[in-house]
Amino acid sequence: MAGHSGTNGPPPGGHPFGTRLVYRSDHKPLETTAPETPAPTIDIADRVKHFLHVLIEPRSYLNAVYLLTAFPLGLTYFFVLTAGMISGAFLSIVLVGLLILLATIVAAWGFALFERELAIGLLGVKVPPLSLPDPELVSPWRLLVRHLGQPATWRSLVYLFLKLPFGIFATLLSGVLVGASGLGILYPIIKINVDGVSPQALANFIFPGAIALAGLAFSFHVLNAVGRAWGRFASQMLGVGEEQRQVWEAKRKAEAADRSRRELIMNVSHELRTPVASIQAHVDSLLLPAPDRPDAAESERRLRVTAAETRRLADLIEDLLMLARADSHELKVINRPIELAPIVDQVGRALGPLARAERSVTVSVEDLPANVWAVGDADRLAQVLTNLVRNAINYTPEGGVVSVRLDEGSFEHVQIAVSDTGPGISAADLEHIFERFYRADSSRTRDTGGFGLGLSIARELLEAMGGSLSATSQPGLGSTFWISLRRADPSK
Ligand code: ADP
């Protein structure tokens, strides 16, 4: 028996409530042969609580309202729909009959929509929509044709007719159960009001009142079960089927992908046109017959422009490849704990001298706290940071400052901030700068040579690392781009 009692011993570090009471009562946990079932007193108290709890649940009352009104509603549907169908069928040889049939279909659709709302609001069930949105359906005629072709339309019609027999049952049941318990509760109250307060009246009040209350709780349990069953039926009958929804979802995704592909082709062609035209014009001028050809200095200038435009095109192709990989989930980001200070430092060192020499912009890397680790891909992070610092340098006027700092951030996240003293970004542009091909001010940004892809790629890369990229700006004073990454523990 020892083994048996051993398994009954209190589990280390805490017990289920009932078991603890059993072991406390005899103080001999290891030798006890206490029954395996929890203490009955607790169980009964819990059960009574659970049984009576239904009285204070709003859902019970909503459910009762649904069942009580089921008969009048079912009768209304039955009357309107049968009257409409019969009179419409009889008069169908004349136009008015067809109009009646049409009105009946519209009424049935309205009833079904109303029933769907009732099932959601009063029974608390999830019901899929009766039809799925289709932007191509603009004319009422096509809408009607689709409506008639949908299985959900005919299912909901069957439902509306079944609501009458169900309504007779539901309203009768709920009327009898709730009515009887309600009377049982009300009667003693009325009696006390009429006869005045006396010990006898109070006894009459408490005892039958308590039974009536228990009766009401029992009624609610029964009615809730009926409501749940009917609710399940309603969700099957009043909404589009699962298969139809999946087909619709797949179609919607395919259309979105097709739209984005078309947009991409449009944008790329647009972006390619200017540099290609420029290259073509310059090369053509260099190929002119000797007398028309520009002199050596001008030829060299044109060659330099051609080389610069070619580089821009190569950059664009790199960016496009990166986006294509991201879209097809082939963008490889290897996430592991990385220390941030060396990466920030390396990017600052690489871009600082260039910024000073070319644009007289100072890149200042603030004191970097050591031992700040995050989850990410070191090379990709360096790529993102390079992009942000390059942008900051490009948009900062001569003599300005670009500063990069590493913030401890919060308990869960660390942040890298890249700030500049450039023109800033307006609130309207700030909402869009992370979108593909978006440039805040095309005339100004043309000089910077960007295609509006850098920030969207940077954001995708950071999101692949489980981080994020955001920006804040004060127009006229400068912008700050914030990289946020999940903090990592290098020891793990
Ligand atoms: P681009 O290659 O054109 O710079 P990005 O995606 O990197 O493309 O940036 C999108 C747009 O965001 C830019 O065209 C520019 O208008 C704006 N932008 C980005 N960084 C800055 C910055 N530091 N200051 C002001 N505007 C910026």
439 lines ligand 1 (CB under 6 A): yes
What confidence score (pLDDT) does residue 279 get? Answer: 93
% of the chain exceeding 70 in pLDDT? 88
Rounded mean pLDDT, 19-38:
39
Name the more confident of 208 and 235: 235
Which residue has the least CA distance to atom 4 on ligand 1? 450
Place 11 in a pLDDT band, splitting at 50, 70 and 90: very low
3-state secondary structure of 374: strand
- Which atom of ligand 1 is found nearest the CA of 420? 23
**Which pLDDT tens digit goes with each residue over 436-487?**
888 886 544 555 567 889 999 999 999 999 999 999 999 889 999 999 999 9
Pocket test for ligand 1, best of 318, 445, 451 (most atoms within 8 A of CB): 445
Q: Please determine, for residue 405, whether its predicted confidence score (pLDDT) is greater than 50.
A: yes
What confidence score (pLDDT) does residue 138 get? Answer: 66
How remote is the CA of residue 266 from the centroid of ligand 1, in Å? 21
- Which atom of ligand 1 is found nearest the CA of 450? 2
Which residue has the least CA distance to atom 10 on ligand 1? 452
Which residue has the least CA distance to atom 13 on ligand 1? 439
What confidence score (pLDDT) does residue 465 get? Answer: 94
What confidence score (pLDDT) does residue 449 get? Answer: 61
What confidence score (pLDDT) does residue 128 get? Answer: 87
391 lines ligand 1 (CB under 6 A): yes
What confidence score (pLDDT) does residue 242 get? Answer: 80
pTM above 0.75, yes or no: no
How remote is the CA of residue 236 from the centroid of ligand 1, in Å? 51
- Which atom of ligand 1 is found nearest the CA of 453? 6
**Which pLDDT tens digit goes with each residue over 37-89?**
455 555 788 888 888 888 899 999 999 999 999 999 999 999 999 999 999 88
How remote is the CA of residue 207 from the centroid of ligand 1, in Å? 78
Lowest mean pLDDT among 199-203, 325-329, 464-468: 199-203
**Which pLDDT tens digit goes with each residue over 277-317?**
999 999 999 999 988 888 889 999 999 999 999 998 998 89
How remote is the CA of residue 410 from the centroid of ligand 1, in Å? 27
- Which atom of ligand 1 is found nearest the CA of 387? 7
How remote is the CA of residue 491 from the centroid of ligand 1, in Å? 38
How remote is the CA of residue 234 from the centroid of ligand 1, in Å? 53
Q: Please determine, for residue 191, whether its predicted confidence score (pLDDT) is greater than 80.
A: no
Which residue has the least CA distance to atom 11 on ligand 1? 439
What confidence score (pLDDT) does residue 393 get? Answer: 94
440 lines ligand 1 (CB under 6 A): yes
Rounded mean pLDDT, 86-106:
88
